[in-house]
Amino acid sequence: MGTAIIRLIAASTDCQLTGAATEPGHAQLGNDAGAVAGAGRLEVALGSQPEVATADCDVAIDFSAAVAFDSTIGACLDSRCGLVLGTTGLAEVAYLRLREAAREIPIVYGRNMSVGVLVFTELACTAARLLGPEADIEIVETHHRHKADAPSGTALQVGEAVAEALGGRLGDLAVFDRFSSSGPRRHGSIGFSSIRAGSVVGDHDIHFATDEEVLTLRHRALDRATFARGALRAARWLAGRKPGLYSMADVLGLEPRDRLPG
């Protein structure tokens, strides 16, 4: 994701890379971040300290692992810069800190920043409202073998929106584990399945099944650039905004969908 974002910044006419950070011990530390991303030299060294990378920026974009969340938020607060955050698998305490930080800086949080996924979510909500609770709903997501969290943040985002469209909460309707349970499917539940295989960028399917028909909606990401492009769009929108916690739906002018859990 980092290299995809840097390439898009380098190709843009209205954005400039002012800092770049990766994990400590990375083999490319100290090298030019643009060259590492295959975008040509940008005269920005790749470092490992978020506070250095954010020292002279308007908006930071972060897709790193959940373990880096505290240092990222701290760096943005110190620098008083906005944050576009696409990290998934965050703990509840991180969501609490995100809300607190949004009182001081503007933040766009999106578990998936693809515009197509926003459309996918809107269609899923429409299907849920029209088909009603009589349809059995199953969400199936497939990602590459290295993805650490399951279900994916996107699957949870879609599930939360669908549950809301049905007048409920995902925490009350979700079924994540059928191995340890027995008996027939619980009426009104939303089932989740996760597949980890190969180098799949990200596939999400949602099935609405009745006794007479099955409706399936699918979103397939073919290139990580789709997430990077959405993140850069969010960064442009966020620059100069007042403090607050925003979503990609806000960026696109849609009804907010991607609220924080809890």
Give the pairing of strands 136-143 and 202-209. antiparallel
Calculate the CA dihedral of residues 19, 35, 67, 148 and round it to 10 degrees.
Answer: 150
Active site residue 242: no
185-220 per-residue burial string, b: 16 or more CB within 10 A, e: under 16: eeeeebbbbbeeeeebebbbbbbbeeeeeeeebebe
Give strand pairing partners of 224. Answer: none
Q: What secondary structure letter does DSSP report for 37?
A: T
Exactly one of 143, 144, 146, 219 is catalytic; name it: 143
Sequence-ordered alpha helix ranges (H) in 46-152: 50-53, 69-79, 92-101, 115-131
Active site residue 207: no
Q: Residue 150 has which token pair?
A: 């399951």
Exactly one of 26, 144, 146, 147 is catalytic; name it: 147
Cβ atoms 128, 208 nearer than 8 A? yes
Cβ atoms 32, 45 nearer than 8 A? yes
Q: Known catalytic residues?
A: 143, 147
